[in-house]
Amino acid sequence: MTQKEVALDYLLEGFIDDAMIDQCRDISINAIVQDNRKARSGNLFIAHQGFNTHGLLYAQDAVAKGVSVVLWDGDLENRNEILDSISNKVLCIHCEDLKQKVGPIASRFYEQPSLSLDVIGVTGTDGKTSIAHYLAQCLDAYDVHCGVLGTLGNGFINDLHPTGLTTVDALLVQKTLAEIEEAGARHVVMEVSSHGLDQGRVNGVAFTTAVFSNMAKDHLDYHGSQDNYANAKRRLFYTPGLGSAVINLDDEFGRQLAKEVRDHVCVWGYSLEKDISAYKDYADYFVHTVDIKPFERGCHLSVETPKGSGDFDIPLLGRFNVANAMAVLSTLLVSRFSFENALKSLSAIRSVDGRVEIIAEDDKPVVVVDYAHTEQGLSAVCQSLKVHFTGKVWCVFGCGGDRDRSKRPLMAKVAEQYADKIIVTTDNPRHEDPQDIINEVMAGFSSLEKVEAILDRRQAIDIAISNAQPGDVVLLAGKGHETSQIVGDVHIAFDDRRVARECLAHREPGVLA
């Protein structure tokens, strides 16, 4: 993007005291930064309380690098000392509740890019990435150039740039939207995480449609309670100017959400139920399946919608992917796609990296790699594999360190219920002892008869693939698309898909003795 300068009073009007606006006149800003390492002459430096540290601690370095203005908020023990040391060099402005205002300020700097786009926000515990990517594929299929922001990266569906976050910080959200709009996009699909909503990362984004997939127990290490987690997700559906909500009515929280937001948005409810008469009070329009017939590599669906009824196939496994497809179909119809074009595009969608990704060789067990890392996600994929495959289901999984510990025994219970053989192993231990994590998972099994614990993930995958028979399916759950394993602060190269292919290549075909 070309270098620009924007008047400071325009950026901050309405966000700071009126008395300070006069001091902003005749000052122009050429960039907004929160990272002192990126600070340059003429920048506006944002300094508020982050997750681990306060931006004011880095303000002196930013000033030394030439920033023109420091915009700050929050309490800090040596705040006055820092401000005294820089206030004679640059303009320092206090902005109450700054973290929640960074997005709208950045939106002004980048000329409010979301107003020129049809922005679709997707939230929920599971399915965000799949729904977002299926939507982008469908929109691109009809030359509706569609950008993507999410777990697998930002950009366009065939040219994504990884960020390591589902929802990036507010500055990067606005910058990316501006770049996507400048590249000629008309639509953007954005995964919206509970962290992103809670921290105001999508404030200033003009969403036209909000999609809700489901609600399960997750991220309690951050939110503290399930209610807080749910309330964070709920915020997306109260975005000013939101036109439509697409909501999963088979989810208990989804029904509650649909009922409460109908007074200010048009609700499209989707369901896998044949009879949706019980849902009549929850939505304005309904999209639902009347028949689901699984086959080895996909599902045949019969659907009813406000714009027509019909049959089509999707090349995806599992009822959860049928639900994802219904979310996509609903959103396409909201986006004024014809019923016929919506079905045609859905029939041609491709699986998403690390989401029920099938790796198969003749006369060997099938391997499925999936990102399932919650109780609900693991349950859904295990049940689906039992429907689509006739052999035994092997489940290799672990739990991440420094994350919600309460779900560890719950994931064990799910695996025990639906898998025939289970290997508990290491996921991303981060700063926890991997063996301690495995022990907490193991505590959730009622019996260890079909369970084995193998600390080394590569060894666990190899043992599962080496012992499974042709016709069996080996599920590698938890890491999906990830290409590294996080141990402490170090990222060690590790890709479940690559390891699976190597193990399959070494395995002899045929039934083992």
In a domain, 496, yes or no: yes
The per-residue DSSP string of 86-141 comes to: HTTTSEEEE-TTHHHHHHHHHHHHTT-GGGGSEEEEEESSS-HHHHHHHHHHHHHH
Q: Which two tokens stand for residue 75?
A: 């309490």
Same domain, 132 and 95: no
- Give the number of C-alpha atoms closer than 13 A to the C-alpha of residue 87, restricted to the C-beta side: 10
Q: How far apart are CA 392 and CA 383, in angstroms?
A: 12
CATH number of the domain to which 474 belongs: 3.90.190.20
Domain boundary residue, one of 32, 64, 99: 99
> 363 and 339, same structural domain?
no
Same domain, 187 and 271: yes
* Residue at 361 is within a domain: yes
Degrees, nearest 5: CA angle 49-53-57: 90
User: Domain containing 326 — which CATH number?
Assistant: 3.40.1190.10
276 and 132 together in one domain: yes
Using CA atoms, how far apart are residues 135 and 115, in angstroms rounded to an integer? 20
- Do 121 and 258 belong to one domain? yes
Domain carrying residue 27 = 6-99
Sequence-ordered strand ranges (E) for 228-330? 244-248, 266-271, 285-295, 298-305, 308-314
Contact call for residues 171 and 32 (beta carbons, < 8 A): yes
From CA 428, how far away is CA 483, in angstroms rounded?
11
Q: Are residues 122 and 265 in the same domain?
A: yes
386 and 500 in a common domain = yes
From CA 312, how far away is CA 301, in angstroms rounded?
A: 5
In this structure, the answer to whether residues 452 and 384 fall within a common structural domain is: yes
Strands 118-123, 146-150: pairing is: unpaired
Q: What is the pLDDT along the chain (513 residues), one digit of tens a residue?
A: 666 899 999 999 999 998 899 999 999 999 999 999 999 999 999 999 887 899 999 999 999 999 999 999 988 889 999 999 999 999 999 999 999 999 999 999 999 999 999 999 999 999 999 999 999 999 988 877 899 999 999 999 989 998 888 788 999 999 999 999 999 999 999 999 999 999 999 999 999 999 999 998 676 677 678 888 889 999 999 999 999 999 999 999 999 999 999 999 999 999 999 999 999 999 999 999 999 999 888 999 999 999 999 999 999 999 999 999 999 999 999 998 999 999 999 999 998 999 999 999 999 999 999 999 999 899 999 999 999 999 999 999 999 999 989 999 999 999 999 999 999 999 999 999 999 999 999 999 999 999 999 999 999 999 999 999 999 999 999 999 999 999 999 999 999 999 999 999 999 998 986
The one-letter amino acid code at 22 reads D
User: Both 404 and 337 in a single domain?
Assistant: no
| β-pair type (91-94, 69-72) | parallel
> Quick one: how far is CA 169 from the chain centroid?
14
Q: How many domains does the chain have?
A: 3
**CATH number for the domain that contains residue 48:** 3.40.1390.10
**Distance in Å from the first CA to the final CA of the chain:** 62
In a domain, 46, yes or no: yes
Report field, pTM of the whole predicted structure over 0.75: yes
265/169 same-domain check:
yes
